[in-house]
Amino acid sequence: MTDGPRLLAGRYTIGDRIGRGGMADVYVGTDTRLGRRVAIKLLKPSLATDPKFRLMFREEAQKAARMAHPTIVRVFDAGEETSTDDSGASLQTSYIVMEYVDGRLLKDVIAEGPAEPAEAVRIISQVLTALEYSHRALLVHRDIKPGNIMITQSGQVKVMDFGIARAVSDNSATVAETGAVLGTAQYFSPEQARGETVDARTDLYSTGVILFELLTGRAPFRGERAAAVAYQHISEPAVAPSSLNPKISPAIDSVVLHSLNKDKFDRYQTAAEFRADVQAAGAGEVPTRRVPAADFNSTLFGVNPNARAGSEATLRQLSSNDDERIVRTQARPPVAWIWAGVALMAAILVAVVIWVISLPTEPDSLTNNLSVSVPNVVGSTYDVGAATLTTAGLVPAQFGQASDTVPEGTVVSTDPSSGQKVSPGISVRVYVSLGKNPTTVPRLDQLSEAAAQQAIQDRALAYGVTTRENSTTIPEGTVISSDPVSGASVREGDTVNLVVSSGLVDLQSVVGQPYNTAITNLTALQFSIEARQDLGCTGGAVTSQSLPAGEQPQRSAITITYCAG
């Protein structure tokens, strides 16, 4: 290992690395004093250099160490180790010593595909138990995601990294600025995405995202960039999980969508409330809405600014004593109210009878009115595909996607995919090919042929053919030019051809030329010239040359004879 000392704090022996993250690397280790196996998390040096972070880290680590619960990974020790590198500079390494968990990360379990609803409910219930415990200790996790949840060999769920996210985020201006450290944007709450103050309800939103992913095998919001995903958390509603996995019941749909409410006052307010509903939905019961009971939430969150005056009056009436309540003096409702109720019930019965009579006789007709099948528009242009989806009663939304195989402007895929049954009016994402990614030809002249071919491949371009060309100045095997030329705009996968020096020059005959003209022409070819006089003739013309006309190696030696009589 090169990331830290072999012996930490004079006590912990560091072994093999078992995990890597944006904030820290995790190693298996041994507590030499107690003789037990531990997991050691070494934080990145860039975090440990800030004194404000180190102070916040120590405080949050102490809070996390006080939590002891079967669903939470225990923190045994935390501190800082000072060491020196090869140059003699001092290095600060912040570390956390935790309980070693023999199991798998939840993100690896999700990668295998959707879980059975019963298993998803079991896992999320234990996660919510851990959050209920930590929230009552006034410790908000802030980074709930599958990468921070372990499943042991016996099926026990354990949540880890309590307090670390708080130390990082409080050391920055906003949560949005630490997105690369706090985890992927897929699990952000809307308030995190907006850079606002977060509380325990942020953890519950992130848990709802994980429950959606466990049930469907994919996150509710996806995009090529973190900013695009954060925007969807803020403004776009999540689809019902049952539209992606038919095994999911309407009750579980209701729980998931309630947990993903954009307004934190309208989603679950406590982990206990969330757990009760998800367990009831998993058992086949329909969760009931309850009047919120007074608990620690009033300390954490304050009063809902969206609460209506009538609701507040109702809560005051429910919480008042017997002396303060209004005393009813009428023993039964007025007679007019009774007859009004009878008339209303009769009208409802008549409406139901008319509706039943008007129902279609064919079962398929009734089903078709409740859902539509997404038509297959893959391979068509967006305009054609959008028209087809609109005709089917769906709302198309265009998204670009680079593709090496699908021509530009052609539909690559849709989400939901073709053939799936969805509710009429649902938005269908239509991914249209942007073609191959645009790029430019790198500068290739003066490179060797092998280096030029490598540069072409590094730019995701295809090497074509090499043409040899004679040159008086460029050494053999060196690139003279390319087609397309360097700097030209192309797309990934396009072919680039090379023109490479052959190491030869084209020699023309100088016999019969005046001596001075012959010397000038041969010098331009960078030949090594030896001139000999022929005293048997006059006029100064060249009478012979040692090399014949045609291709000759660069910088060859040549002897000419000229008349000097």
Longest dimension (CA), the chain: 150
pLDDT tens-digit readout, 310-332: 434 333 333 334 443 334 444 44
Q: The tokens of 564 are what?
A: 């000097």
The beta-strand segments (E) located in 130-283 are 149-152, 157-159
Is 230 a member of any domain? yes
pLDDT tens-digit readout, 189-240: 999 888 888 899 999 999 999 999 999 999 999 888 888 888 899 999 999 9
pLDDT at 321: 41
Q: How many helices (H) and strands (E) are present in the chain, helices listed first?
A: 18, 24
List helix spans (H) across 285-422.
297-301, 309-319, 335-358, 363-370, 382-391
What is the CB-side half-sphere exposure of residue 110 using CA atoms within 13 A? 23
CATH of the domain at 82: 3.30.200.20
Q: Are residues 63 and 23 in the same domain?
A: yes
The beta-strand segments (E) located in 72-148 are 75-84, 90-99, 103-105
* CA–CA gap between residue 302 and residue 200 (Å, rounded): 12
Q: Do 96 and 78 form a contact (C-beta atoms < 8 A)?
A: yes
- Choose the catalytic residue: 25, 77, 108, 143: 143
Is 2 a member of any domain? no
Could you write out the three-class secondary structure of 248-299? CCHHHHHHHHHHCCCCCCCCCCCHHHHHHHHHHHHCCCCCCCCCCCCCCHHH
CA angle 51, 57, 60 (to 5 degrees): 145
Tell me how far CA of residue 89 lies from CA of 4, 12, 44, 85, 92, in angstroms: 14, 23, 16, 6, 10
Give, as one character, the DSSP assignment of residue 381. Answer: B
Q: Are residues 420 and 485 in the same domain?
A: no
Q: How would you class 348 by CB atoms within 10 Å of its CB: exposed for 0-12, middle for 13-18, buried for 19 or more?
A: exposed
CATH of the domain at 428: 3.30.10.20
Domain boundary among 267, 288, 309: 288
pLDDT tens-digit readout, 59-114: 777 777 888 899 999 999 888 887 776 676 777 788 889 999 999 999 999 999 99
Is 233 a member of any domain? yes
Q: Is 415 a catalytic residue?
A: no
Domain boundary among 415, 433, 451: 433
The domain total for the chain is: 5
Q: Are residues 11 and 77 in the same domain?
A: yes
pLDDT tens-digit readout, 342-387: 888 888 988 888 877 766 555 454 445 567 889 999 999 999 999 9
Q: Are residues 57 and 33 in the same domain?
A: yes
Q: The tokens of 452 are what?
A: 């030029």
Q: Are residues 149 and 189 in the same domain?
A: yes
Q: Are residues 92 and 30 in the same domain?
A: yes
What are the beta bridge partners of residue 504? 553
What single-letter amino acid sits at 273?
E
* CA–CA gap between residue 270 and residue 255 (Å, rounded): 13
State whether the Cα torsion 445-451-453-454 is positive or negative.
negative
pLDDT at 460: 86
Is 336 a member of any domain? no
Domain boundary among 269, 288, 307: 288
Range of the domain at 150: 103-288
Q: Are residues 550 and 520 in the same domain?
A: yes
Is 368 a member of any domain? no
Is 324 a member of any domain? no
Between 311 and 249, the more confident residue is: 249
What is the CB-side half-sphere exposure of residue 219 using CA atoms within 13 A? 19
Pairing of strands 103-105, 90-99: unpaired
pLDDT tens-digit readout, 30-46: 999 999 999 998 887 77
Q: Are residues 187 and 253 in the same domain?
A: yes
| Cα dihedral 391, 395, 398, 399 in deg (nearest 10) | -130
Q: What is the mean pLDDT of residues 21-25?
A: 76
Q: The tokens of 356 are what?
A: 């039943």
What are the beta bridge partners of residue 507? 550
Q: Are residues 117 and 193 in the same domain?
A: yes
Q: Are residues 155 and 284 in the same domain?
A: yes
Is 282 a member of any domain? yes
Q: Are residues 162 and 236 in the same domain?
A: yes
Is 298 a member of any domain? no
Q: What is the mean pLDDT of residues 519-542?
A: 90
Q: The tokens of 203 are what?
A: 């953890």
Q: Are residues 190 and 277 in the same domain?
A: yes
